[in-house]
Structure 1
Amino acid sequence: MNSKKKIVMAEDNSTLSLLLKFRLEKEGYQLFIAEDGKKAIELIEQEHPELILTDIMMPYISGLEVISHVRNKLNLKIPIIVFSAAGQEEMVLKAFNLGANDFMGKPFSPNELIIRVKRMLS
């Protein structure tokens, strides 16, 4: 794998972001972190990632709006994995209806995320 696959991650929890950035980069991915949905959309449009990881609840623009923008405005088929705190079934269903490919409830295992990322990008 000479060119690293790009991932944009939208997550407003900086501790979680740094942990996941460390783990994903160790696996050979190039990670771009957005602390809110607005920045996520900018990074997606600039970097053309192969995968998007997004939290649902974020400042300015929610993860649901990010999914909608990617699917409807940019017309991209990039795989999207959504994170959300447990007990938000309605949000999760909305995310899938908007075009999310996978969902992980928080808290989740970084090892499980790595497996899901590899599966999406293989």
Structure 2
Amino acid sequence: MKEYEVLKNARILYVEDEEDVLKFTSMVLEDYTGELYIAKNGEEALEILAHQKIDLLITDILMPRVSGIELIKEMRQRYGRSISTIITTAHAETHYLLEAIDLGVDGYVLKPIDVEDLLRVMEKALLPKMQAHELASKNLLINAISVFVGGKKIEIIKYLLDNCDQDNVFHGSYEDIIAALNVSKPTVVKTFKQLMDTGLLTRIKNKIYRLHPDISGSRALVEVEEEEEEA
């Protein structure tokens, strides 16, 4: 079976009122998804949506209390189209399936559920949004790094990259950087301010800063900037 890489960091909400189907399908999904939340009806699903950030909703159509159609309508009213949606449906539910398609769901899977088919539809539903997120992160880094023209500023960024921990947290002071790089304090202060203004750096507390989660990927950009400066 495929790895389905796009699902590994996804937060999934699976809604199903049939206990056996819920148990079997959720056991499989746990092996492929980042976080899995389960609900037995639409009311439980809305409660989870109110407290958790969800990337993809998978819901049955016919359920007591709040149906899958009503759940999707309510979710769209509250959160717009930010959450991808897949419905599971039996052949006899054609009328409801058409209504769900009119609501703009991202895919559907027929019951009884074929796991490989479900994973494939999930991947197809999530892939465009995941790619858009990655592109936005890369654009943020490219635009931010382009602000830092000047050898000393690039050296400071490289110092931060080299001295942050695995959680992208930098523990240090202006004085540490001044001593290591022989730069002036105004240059360090200005560089830190620019990093924070562009979203690449967040001050947690005194002498502790968190770098953007994707900033490690900017090392190549930093090196390119440095080479251009030398040229």
Question: Normalising to structure 1: TM-score of the pair?
Answer: 0.90
Could you tell which deviates more after superposition, 83-92 or 51-60? Answer: 83-92
Q: Of residues 79, 96, 100 in structure 1, which corresponds to 2:105?
A: 100
Instruction: Look up the match of 1:46.
Output: 51
Instruction: Select the structure that is richer in strand.
Output: 1
2:31 alignment partner, one of 26, 29, 38: 26
As a proportion of its length, which structure holds more helix?
2
SS in 2 for 1:87: helix
* CA positional deviation for 1:52: 0.2
For residues 85-107 of structure 1, the C-alpha deviation after alignment (integer angstroms, 9 at most, x for no partner) is 11221100111112322111211
What displacement does 1:40 show? Answer: 0.7
Structure 2: runs of 5 or more not aligned:
128-231
Task: Give structure 1 regions of 4+ aligned residues with deviation exceeding 4 angstroms.
Answer: none
Offset of residue 53 of structure 1 = 0.2
Amino acid in the other structure paired with 1:76: R
Structure with greater contact order relative to length (CA < 8 Å, sep ≥ 6): 1
Structure 1: tracts of 5 or more residues without a match: none
CA distance in 2: counterparts of 1:57 and 1:28, whole angstroms: 25
Structure 1 residues 1-122: aligned runs within 5 Å = 4-122=9-127
Residue by residue over 1:40-83, the C-alpha shift from the partner in whole angstroms, topping out at 9 and shown as x without a partner, is 11112211210000000111100001110111232233110001
Structure 1 range deviating more: 67-76 or 46-55: 67-76
Identity %: 27
Question: Residues 28 and 91 of structure 1: is their aligned pair in 2 closer, same or farther, counting only changes over 3 Å?
Answer: closer
After superposition, the CA RMSD in angstroms is 1.6
When the two structures are superposed, what TM-score results if normalisation uses the length of structure 2? 0.49
> Across the two proteins, how many residue pairs are aligned to each other?
121
Pair member with larger Rg? 2
